[in-house]
Every structure is written in C-alpha cells, then in structure tokens.
Amino acid sequence: MEEDLFISGIGGQGIQLVGKALALAAISEGLYVMLTGEYGGHMRGGSSVGSVVFGKSPLKSLPNLPSAAAVIALSDQFFENVGGRLRPASLVLAEETIADKLPQLENPKLVTVPAIALATEAGSRMAAGMAMAGAYAALTGVVTVDSVVAAMKELVPAYRRQHVETNERAIRAGAAAVPPLAYPVSFDEAGAEPVQGIVA
C-alpha cells in the first residue's frame, strides 16, 4: 500500500518546503518516497501544489499524481487544482480560517488546524506550513514528529537558520493541536511491485 498526499496553497506559503520536510522525514525512517511539485506562473501569489507518495516498498505511482487520499490545504485559492483529484473519504487537513471556503467533497474526513495562529504564536505567521506538517504527522503516523523536525533542520539553508526554532515550535504546536493517530496509515506490502524509486 502507498499513502499519497497533496499539499495545496499559494506560492510563498512554503508549500514545497512542507512536502520536502515530510519526504525527507520519511526517507530517514526507511520509507520509499516520491516528491513532485506543481507551480503556477508566479513566484508568489500563484498556485503551488506539492505531491508526496510514501511506501514501504518501491513505488508504483506515476510522476504526476492523478489522485490522492489526503490533502493539506493552506489556502482555498487554487484548491480546484487538487479538489477534483481527491478520492472519496479523503483526509482534508485544512487551515481553520479557510475550511468553510473549500468546495464540497464526497464524505471528507475534515480536520481543521489553526495553523496561522499557532505559527504566529510560535514566532512567525510564515511557519503555518510547518504547523500543518506536524499535524499531518501526528494524525497519520506516516512519519514521526521528531523526524519532521530533524528534516526541517536539515532543509533550512544557512542564511535562514534564525527560523529553525520558530519552525520547530510550529511543528510541535501543530502536532499537539490534533488527536494523535486519529487517521492512522498502515502500509500493507502485499502485492507491491517495484516500478520506480525516489523522484525529487
């Protein structure tokens, strides 16, 4: 079995960093990972979608993910780019302030997180994506929260090291804001066929 995830938002919200942190955390825990990014026409303000696939066996997913069972939504803008690709009963992890603006989905498992408020309290509104990464890890158990923190520390470049402590506080606050393992992911290796490995 593979677990697939969209991360949806606006350029400048750190969407791709969230995807990279979750992917690197999974690799550190021995999982196979596929990571891809889709961008709009603007550096900031345009559509930004990250796609991550996790598995315990070599992955079968296509590079362009046609559907997913979960989404992290940091903005309602451009959500149509992923909303129609979610399978029924998908986990929708939404920033609290935009949850009621999302389109109706088929039997979603909706969890809201005050990620912007948590990030602001942690030291920077820009860490909202990190709060959502922590919440996703805690809800699903795909990766541990400690692994997400470690991955974030590895990914943040030297000239932005001043943000590491804020990011860690946001990750842990996001994890604490949701019921632990409310939607656990279990990897069943039966029938897995190796097709491709890691795409970054």
**Residue 73: closest CA among 46, 111, 41:** 111
pLDDT at 40 over 90: no
Residue carrying the six token digits 């345009």: 46
Residue carrying the six token digits 């991550």: 52
Rounded to 5 degrees, φ, ψ at 94 are: -115, 140
Average pLDDT, the chain: 91
- Is the pTM of the predicted complex or chain greater than 0.85? yes
Question: How many domains would you assign to the chain?
Answer: 1
Condensed to tens digits (0 to 9), the pLDDT of residues 87-133 reads 999 999 999 999 999 998 888 999 999 999 999 999 999 999 999 99
Residue carrying the six token digits 């989905």: 105
Rounded to 5 degrees, φ, ψ at 189 are: -85, 0
Q: What is the pLDDT of residue 44?
A: 66
**Spatial separation of the C-alpha atoms in residues 119 and 168, rounded to whole Å:** 10
Residue 182 in any domain: the answer is no
Residue 115 belongs to domain spanning: 2-176
Q: pLDDT over 70 for what percent of the chain?
A: 92
**Residue 21: closest CA among 100, 141, 129, 121:** 129
Residue 27 in any domain: the answer is yes
Q: What is the CATH number of the domain that holds 20?
A: 3.40.920.10
Q: What is the pLDDT of residue 187?
A: 85
